[in-house]
């Protein structure tokens, strides 16, 4: 897989990265460690050069699994990204934002231990914390950057104004926003801001919690702690609208490119100006088999317009990923 420069850093990444939220198990119905390690190995074998995780993904479980998967000599084959600034209680039933200096200092060492590494390539503030002064957060990140514990400073789910505020104190190298065919709010201000300021992007939610795999049906059941039980996209008439859009997108992809909707969704992301890496979430090795389907073709302006027309025709009640935002305290 081709390599891309990661903003204005010396880090190299690939257009597709592996997202490991589901591997952590929390809000995805549990995890299988051996299967998850095999998935990470499969991703690297297929040329994926970025692995993204976070402490809150399984309350340390995802980071532990990633660390075990990379401990056999594969660490230097990937850019390793994780996050900071979420906190939780002992029962794991409450999560809140906490970007205080003390939280960052504690979390970075916990993450380094779980990941079995001496440095984190891309360290991202998971959500903006309105209860902590931005300068305090920035100074804590700057300290880690100068100490060599992290190689790049990133944020996730930040607005341009929040990124401006952080950059008053410390350089900012990357942003991780939600972005996919169905969730496109960042096109208005966020993506242009990142392009203009040389900020790399790692987009998450490429397949929109599975909607864009083409495997969802009206009678698909979501059980246990599956977050899609609370996702408005998967409810009632709105769910039917999104399923209809998926079906039309799949027909378009097959007729025009002899590809399926999953390949179309990934190719669309990779072709967007300003997108550095698109995260592909997987928890089983076979889910990565279609990676090669995005190589060797691209979407021209005519195809982009046709896709927009399908979305406008099928979805008259769109909704974003706002339901995932954790409380400030």
238: tokens are 């709105």
What is the enclosing helix (H) or strand (E) of 81?
strand 79-84
Closest CA to 6 of 137, 109, 124: 124
Cα separation, 300 vs 252, in Å, equals 14
Which residues of the chain form beta strands (DSSP E)?
4-5, 12-13, 16-19, 50-52, 79-84, 86-88, 95-97, 122-125, 153-156, 174-176, 200-203, 277-281
Cα separation, 278 vs 248, in Å, equals 23
Q: Which residues are catalytic?
A: 57
**Please, which residues bridge with residue 178 across strands?**
204
Full 3-state SS string of 121-152: CEEEECCCCCCCCHHHHHHHHHHHHHHCCECC
User: Would you say 25 and 61 are in contact if contact means Cβ atoms under 8 Å apart?
Assistant: yes
77: which DSSP letter?
G
Relative orientation angle of helices 261-270 and 236-257, to the nearest 10 degrees: 80
HSE (side-chain half, CA atoms, 13 Å) at 326? 21
Please count the other Cβ atoms lying within 10 Å of the Cβ belonging to residue 234: 21
**Please, which residues bridge with residue 174 across strands?**
154, 200
SS3 37: helix
Please count the other Cβ atoms lying within 10 Å of the Cβ belonging to residue 322: 10
């Amino acid at each position: 897989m081709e390599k891309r420069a990661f903003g204005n850093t010396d880090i190299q990444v690939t257009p597709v990265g592996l997202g490991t939220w589901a591997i952590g198990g929390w809000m995805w119905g549990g995890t299988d460690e051996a299967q998850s390690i095999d998935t990470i190995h499969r991703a690297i074998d297929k040329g994926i050069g970025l692995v993204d995780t976070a402490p809150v993904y399984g309350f340390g479980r995802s980071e532990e699994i990633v660390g075990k998967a990379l401990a056999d000599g594969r660490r230097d084959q990937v850019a390793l990204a994780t996050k900071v600034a979420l906190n939780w209680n002992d029962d794991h039933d409450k999560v809140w934002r906490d970007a205080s200096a003390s939280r960052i200092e504690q979390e970075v060492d916990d993450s380094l231990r779980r990941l079995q590494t001496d440095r984190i390539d891309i360290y991202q503030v998971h959500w903006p914390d309105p209860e902590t002064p931005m300068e305090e957060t920035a100074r804590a990140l700057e300290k880690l950057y100068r100490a060599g514990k992290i190689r790049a400073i990133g944020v996730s789910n930040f607005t341009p104004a929040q990124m401006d505020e952080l950059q008053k104190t410390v350089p900012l190298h990357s942003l991780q926003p939600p972005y996919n065919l169905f969730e496109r709010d960042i096109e208005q201000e966020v993506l242009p801001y990142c392009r203009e300021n040389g900020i790399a992007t790692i987009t998450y939610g490429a397949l929109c919690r599975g909607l864009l795999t083409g495997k969802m049906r009206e009678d698909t059941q979501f059980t246990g702690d599956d977050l899609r039980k609370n996702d408005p996209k998967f409810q009632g008439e709105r769910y039917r609208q999104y399923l209809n859009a998926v079906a039309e997108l799949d027909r378009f992809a097959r007729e025009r490119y002899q590809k399926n909707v999953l390949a179309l969704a990934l190719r669309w992301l990779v072709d967007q100006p300003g997108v550095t890496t698109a995260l592909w979430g997987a928890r089983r090795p076979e889910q990565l088999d279609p990676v090669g389907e995005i190589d060797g073709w691209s979407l021209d302006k005519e195809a982009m317009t046709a896709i927009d027309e399908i979305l406008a025709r099928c979805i008259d009640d769109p909704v974003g990923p706002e339901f995932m935002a954790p409380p400030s305290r």
